[in-house]
Amino acid sequence: MKHVVLGLLATGPAHGYELRRRYDDLFADAGVEVNIGQIYVTLGRLERDGLVSHTTESGGDRRDRKVYRLTEDGAAELRDWVTRPSDTPLVKPDVLLRLVTARLAAVLLPDVDPTAVITDHRQRCLQALRDLDRQAARTSGTSVGGLLVQATALHLQAELRWLEACQRQLAEIELTTSGNGGHDG
């Protein structure tokens, strides 16, 4: 959120409601909307860190408005963030860890079916893909929101293909740990 707001200010100074309009123009068709409170909270933090500053503009007969602009530090932070490689985890191993753990605990938890980890997660991915396809119908192929929806849909499809591979291959993988050699002879 922080860097998105810096980016929105990079196109020119703006007050809070104008920033929200800029945000929604980009992202609202992907189903992600922002409320004005989030915008102001973010602006407050950015100002505290010296990345934005504001001037007060007379609103005539309306309330005075704070107009925010990037500071030099803000522009430097924006450049740094945009050019730094993303540190998002490429793959989240949570499901695989659950699967492996369910297999390790087969004796301790005999009523837990490891394949249910796969089938439950598949259900979750398929359901999300179904919901997302409805959203995709509301986005345009040439909008930022459309690209966001597409990214998520492609990730979900990859996850589903991977689950098929898990289901096929996991049965063939022997789970051995260095500690289990002596226990069951």
The residue ranges that bind other proteins (CB under 8 A) are: 1, 4, 27, 30-32, 34, 88, 115, 119, 122-123, 125-135, 148-149, 152-153, 156-157, 160-161, 164-165, 167-168
- Give whichever of 51 and 125 is closer to other proteins, judged by the CB atom: 125
Q: How far apart are CA 84 and CA 88, in angstroms?
A: 12
- Give whichever of 115 and 140 is closer to other proteins, judged by the CB atom: 115
Closest to 100 measured CA to CA, from 179, 10, 173: 173
- Give whichever of 4 and 67 is closer to other proteins, judged by the CB atom: 4
Amino acid at 79: R
Closest to 30 measured CA to CA, from 149, 155, 154: 149
Q: How far is the CB of 15 from other proteins (least distance, A)?
A: 21
Q: How far is the CB of 57 from other proteins (least distance, A)?
A: 28
Asked if residue 7 lies in contact with residue 23, where contact means CB atoms within 8 angstroms, the answer is: no
Q: What are phi and psi of 34, to 5 degrees?
A: -120, 145
Q: How far is the CB of 157 from other proteins (least distance, A)?
A: 5
Q: How far is the CB of 88 from other proteins (least distance, A)?
A: 8
Query: Which residues have CB under 8 Å from 65's CB, separation 6+?
Result: 15, 56, 57, 59
- Give whichever of 169 and 178 is closer to other proteins, judged by the CB atom: 169
Q: How far apart are CA 33 and CA 26, in angstroms?
A: 10
Q: How far is the CB of 9 from other proteins (least distance, A)?
A: 16
- Give whichever of 55 and 126 is closer to other proteins, judged by the CB atom: 126
